[in-house]
Chain A
Amino acid sequence: MSLRIQTYLLCLSCVPGSVAELRADDIQSLLARVKAVGPEGAGNAGASAASGELCERGPQDLLDVLRAMDRAGPLAANWLRSAVDAIAEKALADGRPLPARGLEELVLDRSHDGHVRRLAYEWLLRVDPSASDRLVPGMLDDPAVELRRDAVARELVVAEKLLDEGKKGEARSAFERLLPASRDEDQVSRIAKKIEELGGKVDLARHFGFIRDWRIVGPFEGSGGVGYATAYPPETALPEALDLEKAEYPGKPGPVRWVEHTTADPGGVVDLNKALGKQMGVVAYGAARIRSAEERPVSVRAGTPNALKIWLNGRLVFTREEYHHGSAMDQHRADGVLRKGENLILIKVCQNEQTDDWAQSWSFQLRVCDLTGGGLQ
């Protein structure tokens, strides 16, 4: 360190406010270097050096690092998360307190990213286990899905206790109040089962926001695996120009037209083998128009054992050329934005030519939901 800098720092150290500002500038510089990471390891060297310095910081800087994770992107968020864990772990090992009050404020501030709040919550619990009883009951409508899950789990225990005590009416009411808050499939299924056991009815497809009413067209040629890469007319037409009523295309067996198809499956599964007839080496498209009262960010989630592509308003938002490795709700996800008014969802589902018994399914399910996984009603 040069003499000039040493002198400067010495002067600054006489002015507490300036020292604090210097430290703040310093940490913001470190955080900026970490947040500069990019694809394929870009920025890793700078982030590594900066992160190493952050890891040596004390708990007084913990909140700054946590706040820096907001909208940092998944790469930088993981870098910063490791620094948070290192700082907090070291502080506890050294017997230094974590800033519990600041952590709690961060947990309660819903303007922060859900991941950030959850991480703050977990470190808060390490120093204040009572925070769970204090905070979780208010999180049933939390945009942070992991916090919301804890709140649902807590209320589930209460509802099930009512059931164990033979208070069926109160229990059913409790489960029915809980269902709209629930997002995760396992919790929703558990609640729905209880409601139905108590005489109620649950529309799971509606709860999750699965699209049930589709226009379907196909089959198009997919022999030899050509279908996935071949852009058939439904995907080349402009969304506004896609005629779901009268359009006719050259299909595999001859001309094909859009047909209405409504699935009654509780998981919104469309069985294309039933809708279009069982065939192999083929391609089908499903289209649905969705109205939105406002422009809003959404999550488009699909499940299928087949290769697929998804477009939202003509923009390709998801692709995966994979066949028969399992199908599950929400296994494929993409972010998008619904515009105010009418929107077009288009899905392409490709079936290959495997002869195995377990490779015969040609199906899909798709939902458009809010960012917590709540179905758009």
Chain B
Amino acid sequence: MRRGFHGHALAAAFVIGIAGLHAPAADWPGWRGPGGSGISEETGLPSRWSASENVRWKAELPGRGLSSPVIAGGKVYLTASSGPKQDRLHVLAFDATTGRKLWERQLWATGDTQCHPKTSMAAPTPASDGARVYALFATCDLAAYDAAGRLAWYRSLARDYPDLSNQVGMAASPVLWEDLLVMALDTDSTAFAIAVDTATGANRWKSERPRGINWTTPIFFRRDSRVEVVVQSGKGLTAYEPRTGEVRWVHQAGLNPIASPVAGGEVLFAPGGNISAILPGAGDESPRVLWTSPRIKASTASPLHHESRVYAIASAGVLACADAATGEVLWQERLQGPFSASPVLGDGKLYCVNEEGITAVVDLRAENRVVAKNPLGEGILASPAISGGSIFLRSDRYLYAIGGGSDRTGG
């Protein structure tokens, strides 16, 4: 996904209470996977592929999309949009092993479909808890389908809240927290964070936010044994109590309204012009900026935190690795950009997919880190997913499962 949210590393203290992390190991239940971290625990992941090599399966899609595939219970769920006005909204389910399409459902858009030509109505990534897939579109149509493709519930948020629209295109993804689906829907006309019941779609809470166009996705953040849902916007960070929507703390700063923050331990790494490390205060204390480094920047792609390192791709295509404690940049690699997809990590490798569909595989253990540049021959703006030994990539035309299965030797 071009714009979206970011999570945190799989720190043990973080695990309890985060719905995505209860999923089986092979699941990738939302944007950037378990806990929104962008990190897979799987090994044996492929390093090399092309349009004709090491492709486990490939499925044709009915429309465009920047949303990432999500994987739960052996199924790959994906959204797409089609039609001259992009008013056809598709939710699809595929068998993760074979790529066979299991079902496809369509909705008619009930909200605005105007957007920048680069994006589409299938920009937000769906989320799945295994029982259902929750698909949000840029039109603010929100639908939950069960695993068999039966509509469990449906909302037209654009009809519920008529000013909910931005003419560039909405893109923030929904995130799951226990029995809640949480969204940050910020526009110039109206802005709010909202949690709906995953069983019925009914509002559980709705909290007004400062108005302003924004594309970041909430992250869940655990500190002092309590969990907060944190939303970044151009005006700063706001932390909410996930059950009630009560505002816990606010950090006002000029931050990036596209790339999302990432958590590492009790620190948030927030992309602005530069990356800043922000330590939320205990109790009523104000958040404290631990460091801001002009040498590590994030543009559209969100940063990633792993094993005390922060990784981010700047608009020029420079991948930087910084010490999470100090902000000191430890190394940089110039990759071929531009990047809309956010990097993901698995098997010790960063997967960085540029807009031409070339995936730079960066082996964090290798001396010559960039071990492969894998072209697929078509543009990709969606962040990859990792499950079952495969890297899942989606373009406007195809969904690819790369590697995995009987042939995991791809690299």
- B163 in contact (CB, < 8 A): yes
- B188 close to A (CB within 8 Å): yes
Are A78 and B110 closer than 8 Å at their CB atoms? yes
Complex formed: what's the CA distance from A81 to B89 in Å? 12
Chain A interface residue count, CB cutoff 8 Å, equals: 38
B351 CB, nearest partner CB in chain A, Å: 32
B151:A83 contact, CB within 8 angstroms:
yes
* B190, closest chain A residue (CB): A321
Beyond A44-B153, A44-B202, A45-B200, whether A78 also contacts B107 by CB under 8 A is: yes
Q: Does A41 contact B (CB under 8 A)?
A: yes
Q: Is there a chain B Cβ closer than 8 Å to A48's Cβ?
A: yes
Per-residue CB proximity of B145-167 to A under 8 Å, as 1/0? 10001111111100110110111
Chain B residues positioned under 8 Å from A79 (CB to CB) = 151, 154
CB atoms of A82 and B163 under 8 A apart: no
Q: Is A29 interfacial (CB-CB < 8 Å)?
A: no
A51-B150, A81-B106 are contacts. A325–B200 as well, Cβ < 8 Å? no
Residues of B within 8 A of A47 (CB): 153-154
Of the four ranges (under 10, 10 to 19, 20 to 34, 35 or more), the interface on chain B belongs to: 35 or more
Main secondary structure of the interface of A (DSSP, over half): helix
Residues of chain B lying within 8 A (CB to CB) of residue A146: 83
Chain B residues with CB under 8 A of A86: 103, 105, 149-150
Instruction: Report yes or no: A74 in contact with B108, Cβ–Cβ below 8 A.
Output: yes
Q: Does A77 contact B (CB under 8 A)?
A: yes
Cα separation A64 to B103 with both chains bound (whole Å): 22
Report yes or no: B159 in contact with A75, Cβ–Cβ below 8 A.
yes
Q: Taking CB as reference atom, which chain A residue is nearest B107? A: A78
Chain A residue nearest to B155 in the complex (CB): A41
Q: Is residue B187 contacting chain A, with contact meaning CB distance below 8 A? A: yes
- With A48-B151, A82-B151, A322-B189 known as contacts, the answer to whether A75 contacts B107 (CB < 8 A) is no
B319-354 interface (Cβ within 8 A of A): none
B105 neighbours in A (Cβ, 8 Å): 81-82, 85-86
Taking CB as reference atom, which chain A residue is nearest B157?
A40
Query: How far, in Å, is A79 (CB) from chain B's closest CB?
Result: 6
Interface string of B187-225 (1 = CB under 8 A from A): 111000000100011110000000001000000000000
| Cα distance, A81 to B155, chains bound together (Å) | 14
Check if A184 is an interface residue, CB within 8 A of chain B. yes
- CA gap between A320 and B112 in the complex, in Å: 11
* A353 close to B (CB within 8 Å): no
State whether A74 and B110 are in contact (beta carbons under 8 Å apart), knowing that A40-B155, A41-B202, A323-B188 are contacts in the complex: yes
The 6 closest A-B pairs by CB, nearest first: A325-B167, A82-B151, A44-B153, A331-B114, A322-B188, A41-B202
6 more contacts with CB within 8 A, not counting A44-B201, A48-B151, A78-B107, are A41-B203, A47-B153, A82-B105, A89-B104, A325-B168, A328-B167
